[in-house]
Amino acid sequence: MISYARFWETLRASRESTYTLINRHRISSSTLDKLRNNRPVNTTTINDLCRILNCRVEDVMEYIPSDQDQPL
């Protein structure tokens, strides 16, 4: 499972907020909802968030093994 808990930690430590992500950087509220619920987002969105927050991919997401992962 991909977890976006690190994104929320990075966001809290930054000068940005969900308000500025939506209104200044045009990140949609549905994208933030996906991040909040650990649902898939595309790599372009991850790239944009890293640019906005001036951080690395590891500061936005991490892989956590889970029994709920789909079978391969």
The pLDDT score that the predictor gives to residue 68 is: 79
Give the domain range for residue 18: 2-63
**What is the pLDDT tens value at each position of the chain, 72 positions in all?**
999 999 999 999 999 999 999 999 999 999 999 999 999 999 999 999 999 999 999 999 999 998 877 778
Among 55, 11, 15, CA closest to 31: 11
Question: Is position 34 within any domain?
Answer: yes
Phi-psi region of 70 (alpha: psi -120 to 50; beta: other; left: phi over 0): beta
Question: Is position 52 within any domain?
Answer: yes
Question: Is position 72 within any domain?
Answer: no
67: Cα within 13 Å, side-chain hemisphere: 0
